[in-house]
Amino acid sequence: MELVDAPHSKCGTFGYVGSSPTAPTLMNTYSRFDISFKKGKGCWLWDKTGKKYLDAVAGIATCSLGHSDRVLRRRLSTQLRKIQHISNLYNIEEQEQLSRTLTNISCAKSVFFCNSGAEANESAIKLIKKYGNTINKGKESIILAAESSFHGRTLAALSATGQPKYQKGFEPLIQGFKFFKFNNFDSVKKLFEECENNNQKISGVLVEPIQGEGGVIPGSKIFFKSLRNICDEYNSLLILDEVQSGVGRTGKMWGYENLGIEPDGFTLAKGLGGGHAIGALLVKEKANIFYPGDHASTFGGNPFACKAALTVLEEINRRNLINNVYLRGEQLSAGFEELSKKFPNIITGKRGLGLIQGLVINKDYVDAKKITLKAFDKGLLVVPAGGNVVRIVPPLVISRREINILLDKLNLIFGEL
């Protein structure tokens, strides 16, 4: 095979011809596992050798309807034959349908669409900053976020992420963030009081209902109710990062429904598109303060992405998947309890809600990444999370039988450690 010149191109050539197909052309941004998948169906994936894997990662809580879903394939194929992108210079019917659907099933009243969780959280940060500038009266604007949080890789989202390991090398970060201990209201109250005494104003709080990357740590009802109250007291916005917890993942449509509060806004991505790129910032009236020119996204809310999200939401309702998530979550939790009793030297705890759950692994015994690698041999995909946790986030369509298969595979893996 020979190199073929690109017609009228000053850049050289197309393709691999005459050079090794393994030559590195991707930037070295990922520590990838040495595996490549060729097809998927439901909760299963097949690698290039034909080996079959039960997928308890789902693109990291993204493939809500599993792989190659029949309805999603049909709807998106139809959409491609109709229209896929026109930009937000014009009205977009699918975008308007999706915004109505989302506001009808949540506490929000309006929606901004983008392409990812990081973009959604960037939008939230800009919103909080604009809100702060309208109420601060000359005081320095501060945004609170939690330690061990994860809000994305863009610079402002990274600055709001309470994990220094992700921030190293990218200093100076965006200023104006302070961090509290998750589920510790005293640390929140202390920051509010300190800011009041230092000519600063807390414009808003950005926090996850359940910390995913931080180790699958659910928020406590008492903590979030206190957080809601202090935000009301100080006229600060409470914005929840539901990028991983939203769209049915916890056994409720929205993570905040587990906490007994309503936020002023929340962000979405991951499971909303069922594997297709879409993000969103949803807000109540108080936080609906963006005007033309304040924020924008070229691809955000295009017809194709919105049709994917509409299909996911319709299928969650039609198939009663919220109930399935709750039942499968209970089954998974019970299975984890049995595994914890059987392997107490390896498993030191379990936590999570619905189909975002984690096994806390004794770091003195084994690393969670090693368990992830051993799971490949057993035809199982899991993903590590912070604090040496094995995270389980399968598609929302996973069946009772498939949960039992998952638990059997974990039993074999731990038995061989």
Render the burial of 211-225: b for 16+ CB within 10 Å, e for the rest.
bbbbbbbbbeeebbe
What's the CA gap between 268 and 112, in Å, rounded? 10
The annotation status of 297 as a binding-site residue, yes or no, is yes
Tell me: is residue 383 an annotated ligand-binding position.
no
Measure the CA–CA gap between 395 and 68, rounded to whole angstroms.
12
244 labeled part of a ligand binding site: yes
H/E segment holding residue 283: strand 279-283
Is 84 annotated for ligand binding? no
Q: CB count, 10 Å around CB of 381?
A: 22
Stated as kind and residue range, the H or E segment containing 69 is none
Both tokens of 298, joined, read 């070229």
* Separation between Cα atoms, residue 189 and residue 171, nearest integer Å: 28
Provide φ and ψ at 190, rounded to 5°.
Answer: -60, -40
Rounded CA gap, 352 and 335, in Å? 13
CB of 355 closer than 8 Å to CB of 327:
no
How many CB atoms sit inside 10 A of residue 401's CB? Answer: 8
Q: Under 8 Å CB-to-CB from 95, ≥6 apart: which residues?
A: 113, 301, 302, 303, 306
298 labelled ligand-binding: yes
Would you say 243 is a known binding-site residue? Answer: yes
- Token readout for 33 is 């596992």
Residue 128 CA to residue 238 CA, distance in Å, equals 9
Q: Is 109 exposed, middle or buried (0-12, 13-18, 19+ CB in 10 A)?
A: middle
User: 117 among the known binding-site residues?
Assistant: yes
Task: Answer yes or no: is 311 a known binding residue.
Answer: no
Instruction: Report the length, in residues, of the chain.
Output: 417
Q: Residue 61 and residue 213: Cα distance in Å, rounded? A: 11
Closest CA to 15 of 25, 4, 31: 4
395: phi then psi, degrees, rounded to nearest 5: -55, 150
Binding residues for N(2)-acetyl-L-ornithine: 153, 297
Binding residues: 117-118, 150, 153, 241-244, 297-298
Binding residues for pyridoxal 5'-phosphate: 117-118, 150, 241-244, 298
